[in-house]
Amino acid sequence: MFERRFRHTKRYREIVNTFIRYGFGYVLFRVGLTDRDLSKKDEQSDTNINMQSIGRRLRYTLQELGPTFIKLGQIASTRHDILPREIISELEKLQDHVTVLSFDHVRQTIETELDDELENIFDDVDPEPMATASIGQVHIARLFTGEEVVVKIQRPGLKPVMETDMEILERIGQILEERTDWAKRYRVLDIIHELSLSLRSELDYLIEGRSGERIAKQFEQQAFVHVPAIYWEYTAKKVLTMEKVDGIKISHVNKLDQAGYDRNVIAKRLADAMFTQILDKGFFHADPHSGNVYILPKTTITFLDFGEVGRISDDMTHHFASIVVNLHNGNAEALIKTFSKMDLIGEKTNMDAFRRDLEALHESYSNVMMKDMSLGKIIIEIFQVAYHHYIDIPSEMAMLSKTILTLEGVISRLDPEFSIMRAAEPYARKVMKRRYSPRRILRRSMNDIAENLEIISDLPRDVKEVMSTLQRGRVGLDINVKQAERFLNRFDKISNRLSFSIIMLAFSILMAGLIIGSAITDQSTVIWKLPIIEIGAVVATLMFILMVITIIRSGRM
């Protein structure tokens, strides 16, 4: 316990001193992390500092503090919805400035992780690294079967340092959210938790290997996408061995031209591969920069490095597809409905002002050619408008916009005429159609019926609890008048759905009783010369059709 506290104190001082050295002492004082004496110099010069300078010094600070803070800066650089562009542009330049790991450390890590001597594992390992980064170092090796492979080795002692950093950052995040409104608004703790999950994944090469294999399975039936195979017998938490690919880096345009590749085909295949992952599978390579994409013979796209992957739920995929389609159609009202369905609109949101800003954004692009539109930038601008109106954007959407921006940067060098917006639109429409397929509608309907039955079964107990609470006089109401209409409409919707479900259930029970009774007594069910069962079947069918139409029109029942 004492050792842990000492380690935290020592590292905390390093962090604070580094921020002060780069001129952030006044900021630390303002948020209650340092004394005023340490910030006087920064306070005097604070008014003469521009955003570009702040971003540059922040980048230097994070680079000096090491892998955890570099990763924090890289994640923060995806939050175009909450950070100024000048700071974003500097954080995007964050690089891993690290020393080369000695081959003795490489040997020791491989032998410890794979539980054997290096000479018994590989026929040969190149002592000179192929690449270095803050978390791992890459070497080329050869198996005893003669195959060349790439071996990624994790740097020693990373986990305890990063765990210490994460514990300190989480504590700082708690302090910031307790003491400042901006930290609550920017959801600093959420960003730190996102960083924590990302780092833990990157520190476990088994997770990275499984992510690569999962994406490889997405393209088993498509020959134009290749993912390097993982050699699991030579892979562990800190050692990752994979197939070595010999291709041309996608940013080496001249080499691609010399080799006779059609860059238009490369651009289309890369876009198709990414939107298949994002909009069709919901699991995607989240960092498709030029260093992670190579071109193999027959214009085959190869993805490398699956340490950073993104996940997007079915509902979020549908919402993102809605945004793309509505952008394509220029429908601002439909965009607002999408945000409403995502349950992101807060009580502080002025809907009229939000609508005006979205329409103004749309008008600014009305005369822009499709090929000149940047889907990533437009989505980021929408998110900025949304955030200005107190609409919080989910982190998975923020990562998605960053991934698309990265993709656009790579593709624009290949083919400046290629439109990501046009490439994404068919995939988005496919998602919309898939959502309203009869099978999905039926499955959602059955789920809704099951949920409504559960609500009905719990209704007596819930009513009893409400009545008990009312009798004890412990009910308080806090309704924002501006949001009262939306609240009442939603409540009315819930009431109607519940009533409709009860009626359908009662009607189904009644019809079942008639059918069973007539079968047992062997009597007809004609009353007043009317075939009751046949009429009931027609009514039940009409009610079911009405329910399906309601689902289709609203997107949810």
Distance CA 549, CA 557 (A): 10
Residues contacting residue 326 through CB under 8 Å, at least 6 positions apart: 332, 334, 335, 338
**Are 414 and 288 found together in one domain?**
yes
Cβ–Cβ under 8 Å, residues 410 and 289: yes
How confident is the model over 281-291, as pLDDT tens digits? 999 998 888 88
Answer whether residue 109 is part of any domain.
no
**Are 444 and 428 found together in one domain?**
no
Q: Answer yes or no: is pLDDT of 147 > 90.
A: yes
Q: Answer yes or no: is pLDDT of 547 > 70.
A: no
**Are 411 and 490 found together in one domain?**
no
> What tokens appear for 455 in the block?
């609500």
How confident is the model over 365-406, as pLDDT tens digits? 766 665 667 787 787 777 778 777 777 777 777 788 888 888
Average pLDDT over residues 196-214: 89
Q: Answer yes or no: is pLDDT of 295 > 60.
A: yes
pLDDT recorded at residue 180: 76
**Are 70 and 196 found together in one domain?**
yes
Nearest to 454 by CA among 518, 502, 490, 504: 502
Backbone angles phi, psi at 151, to 5 degrees: -120, 120
Domain boundary, last residue among 413, 434, 455: 434
**Are 508 and 548 found together in one domain?**
yes
**Are 498 and 524 found together in one domain?**
yes
pLDDT recorded at residue 299: 94
Residues contacting residue 199 through CB under 8 Å, at least 6 positions apart: 67, 68, 71, 162, 166
> What tokens appear for 61 in the block?
């600070």
Label residue 6 by pLDDT band (50, 70, 90).
low
Domain boundary, last residue among 408, 434, 460: 434
**Are 423 and 460 found together in one domain?**
no
Residues contacting residue 8 through CB under 8 Å, at least 6 positions apart: 164, 167, 168
Torsion sign (Cα): 221, 224, 225, 230: positive
Percentage of residues in the chain with pLDDT exceeding 90?
Answer: 24
Q: Answer yes or no: is pLDDT of 19 > 50.
A: yes
Q: Answer yes or no: is pLDDT of 336 > 80.
A: no
Answer whether residue 182 is part of any domain.
yes
**Are 457 and 419 found together in one domain?**
no
Answer whether residue 207 is part of any domain.
no
Average pLDDT over residues 233-256: 94
**Are 294 and 316 found together in one domain?**
yes
Cβ–Cβ under 8 Å, residues 185 and 392: no
pLDDT recorded at residue 54: 85
Answer whether residue 73 is part of any domain.
yes
Predicted model pTM: 0.70
pLDDT recorded at residue 316: 85
The mean of the pLDDT values for the chain is: 78
Domain count, the chain: 3
**Are 342 and 449 found together in one domain?**
no
> What tokens appear for 128 in the block?
């000179």
Domain boundary, last residue among 143, 170, 201: 201
Answer whether residue 224 is part of any domain.
no
What does 345-363 look like in DSSP terms, one character per residue? B-TT--HHHHHHHHHHHHH
Distance CA 336, CA 352 (A): 11
**Are 263 and 352 found together in one domain?**
yes
Q: Answer yes or no: is pLDDT of 214 > 70.
A: yes
Answer whether residue 101 is part of any domain.
no
Comparing 35-49, 157-171, 294-308, 356-370, the range with the smallest average pLDDT is 35-49
Torsion sign (Cα): 516, 521, 522, 524: negative
Answer whether residue 24 is part of any domain.
yes
**Are 429 and 443 found together in one domain?**
no
pLDDT recorded at residue 225: 95
Residue 8: domain span: 2-96+160-201
How confident is the model over 444-489, as pLDDT tens digits? 656 666 666 666 666 667 666 767 766 666 555 554 544 555 555 5
Average pLDDT over residues 503-526: 56
Backbone angles phi, psi at 247, to 5 degrees: -140, -170
Please state, in angstroms and as integers, the Cα–Cα distance from residue 432 to each residue in 318, 341, 403, 442, following that order.
7, 14, 21, 16
Answer whether residue 317 is part of any domain.
yes
